[in-house]
């Protein structure tokens, strides 16, 4: 079964929804307009139940099949939030909100799942129930965890859950996936260095936190190069270096470093946290200063279930003619919390030759909509075949 004809017919309408979402981005849990639009559409489609306020601003729509002889429910999840980035695409429907844009394609994910929901509510050609899940705050807020903590899996009796993300650089509408660990655990750290400030002309009277910070930044790279097993992935990135003074002639009293640690293995994650703290404190002490480390665990490793991954790939092949093996991704994804709660799978759909995600010139490719919608619908119709 290739791309469903119904989604070719619906493409102009779904594109209109997507571009409206793009024009009106909302950050983290502040997806009030987006959530209201989603809820209104689901009611308009004739969903059997529409529940709002889950995970603060999340929405779940329930669609029952023509029959329900097995009592099974499939969850389909899309994320709704945008990023705090100033848009530079120049498209007519560019963001109207300064400093916010859909730079990761969540507008496309939401629109595609809405399109699938409309089709499934029209046809109901399946035996069981579908829960369409629209989640806020994927971009660092942990909205997936909050929806799980709000009990959506038990409340709606969800047996399996499936997610999707667009992927620039892949042919439009093509798919790729991998079983097991897929997206990395994403932790954050802050390192506060304190020395003794003073005049730049008298470094001998100071404990220079700028030099101290530079040594810490370089030493942290030894976690990947000298502490981790070379066949196991770890990325330590210092992304911000702020001194306590902006003057040309002042050696600052303090330095603040920020960054992330990305890992695919819990043991490596534990080792990285331990070594980061030891390196920061030891380097500061060696140079006469003090380091305080605030290390915070973020999203866990996102792990695709074996059986559901095989099934998701089979559906992808039926829609697009193929499904490639996806590489490991060191980015984080809070769909991990849903996959920790229920078996399921997460797949990538090609966005074509576009700017990469999290870039001010990125834009979701509307040509991917029919393939994405078809995959959602086929997941349901094949997993819950009509009685």
Give the Cα separation of 182 and 346 in Å (integer). Answer: 9
Say whether 86 counts as a known binding-site residue: no
26 is catalytic: no
* Angle formed at CA 137 by CA 324 and CA 302, multiple of 5 degrees: 35
Nearest residue to 217 via CA among 196, 242, 185, 197 = 242
Answer yes or no: 138 catalytic. Answer: yes
Instruction: Consult the annotation and say whether 373 binds a ligand.
Output: no
With a CB cutoff of 8 Å and minimum separation 6, the contacts of 39 are 50, 52, 59, 61
| Whole-angstrom distance, CA of residue 5 vs CA of residue 147 | 33
Is 106 annotated for ligand binding? yes
How far apart are the C-alpha atoms of 101 and 114, rounded to whole Å? Answer: 20
Secondary structure (DSSP) of 298-366 = EEPPEEE-HHHHHHHHHHHHHHHS--EEPPPB-S--THHHHHHHS-EEEEEEE--S-PPTTSTT----G
165 labelled ligand-binding: yes
109 is in an annotated binding site: no
Decide if 385 contacts 127 (C-beta within 8 A): yes
Point out the catalytic residue in the list 23, 26, 79, 81: 81
Q: Which of 87, 127, 138, 381 is catalytic?
A: 138
Q: Which residues participate in catalysis according to the annotation?
A: 81, 138
Annotated binding site for Mn(2+): 104, 106, 139, 165, 358
Detail the residues annotated as belonging to a binding site.
104, 106, 139, 165, 358
């Amino acid at each position: 079964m290739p791309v469903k004809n119904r989604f070719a017919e619906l493409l102009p309408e779904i594109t209109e929804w997507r571009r409206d979402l793009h024009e009106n981005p909302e950050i983290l849990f502040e997806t009030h307009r987006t959530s209201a639009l989603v809820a209104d559409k689901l009611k308009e489609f004739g969903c059997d139940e529409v529940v709002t306020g889950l995970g603060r601003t999340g929405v779940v729509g329930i669609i029952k099949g023509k029959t329900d002889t097995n009592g099974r429910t499939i969850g389909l999840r899309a994320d709704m939030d945008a990023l705090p980035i100033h848009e530079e695409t120049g498209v007519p429907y560019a963001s109207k909100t300064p400093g916010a844009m859909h730079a990761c394609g969540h507008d496309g994910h939401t629109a595609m799942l809405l399109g699938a929901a409309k089709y499934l509510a029209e046809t109901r050609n399946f035996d069981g129930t579908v829960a369409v899940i629209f989640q806020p705050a994927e971009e660092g807020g942990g909205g997936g965890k909050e929806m799980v903590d709000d009990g959506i899996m038990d409340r709606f009796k969800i047996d399996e859950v499936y997610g999707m993300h667009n992927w620039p650089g892949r042919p439009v509408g093509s798919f790729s996936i991998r079983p097991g660990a897929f997206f990395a655990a994403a932790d954050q750290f802050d390192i506060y260095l304190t020395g003794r400030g003073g005049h730049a002309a008298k470094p001998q009277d100071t404990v220079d936190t700028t030099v101290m910070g530079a040594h810490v930044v370089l030493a942290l790279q030894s976690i990947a190069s000298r502490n981790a097993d070379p066949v196991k992935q770890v990325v330590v990135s210092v992304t911000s270096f702020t001194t306590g003074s902006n003057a040309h002639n002042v050696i600052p009293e303090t330095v603040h470093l920020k960054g992330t640690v990305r890992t695919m293995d819990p043991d490596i994650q534990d080792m990285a946290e331990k070594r980061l703290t030891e390196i920061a404190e030891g380097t500061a002490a060696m140079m006469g200063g003090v380091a305080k480390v605030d290390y915070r665990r973020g999203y866990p490793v996102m792990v695709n279930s074996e059986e559901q991954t095989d099934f998701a790939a089979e559906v992808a092949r039926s829609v697009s003619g193929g499904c490639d093996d996806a590489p490991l991704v060191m980015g984080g994804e809070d769909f991990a919390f849903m996959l920790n709660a229920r078996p399921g799978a997460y797949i990538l759909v090609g966005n074509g030759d576009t700017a990469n995600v999290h870039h001010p010139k990125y834009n979701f490719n509307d040509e991917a909509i029919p393939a994405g919608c078809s995959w959602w619908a086929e997941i349901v119709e094949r997993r819950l075949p009509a009685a």
